């Protein structure tokens, strides 16, 4: 990956388990310029017990890809 000033990842990190997600982020960091920015777009699991579409997606990601949605604190 050539040097980048800004990287955008949309619904990527949640597709992978924590180990692979960490590796993806490390590779992005190595490819970025010192002043670079990483923009992540994805769902955030709300902390309450109310129904939310992100919670449904969380279960689907776990079953199909071994990934999961993250809470605000986990990001």
pLDDT per residue over 13-41, tens digit each?
888 888 999 999 999 999 888 888 999 99
d(CA 25, CA 74): 14
**Position 74 pLDDT exceeds 90:** no
Indicate the domain borders of the chain. 4-71
Of 70, 74, 66, 22, the C-alpha closest to 44 is 70
**Position 3 pLDDT exceeds 70:** no
């Amino acid at each position: 990956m050539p040097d980048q000033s800004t990287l955008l990842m949309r619904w990527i990190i949640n597709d992978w388990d924590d180990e692979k997600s960490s590796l993806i982020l490390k590779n992005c960091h190595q490819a970025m310029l010192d002043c670079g920015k990483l923009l992540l777009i994805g769902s955030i699991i709300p902390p309450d017990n109310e129904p939310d579409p992100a919670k449904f997606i969380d279960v689907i990601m776990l079953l199909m890809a071994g990934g999961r949605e993250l809470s605000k604190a986990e990001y």
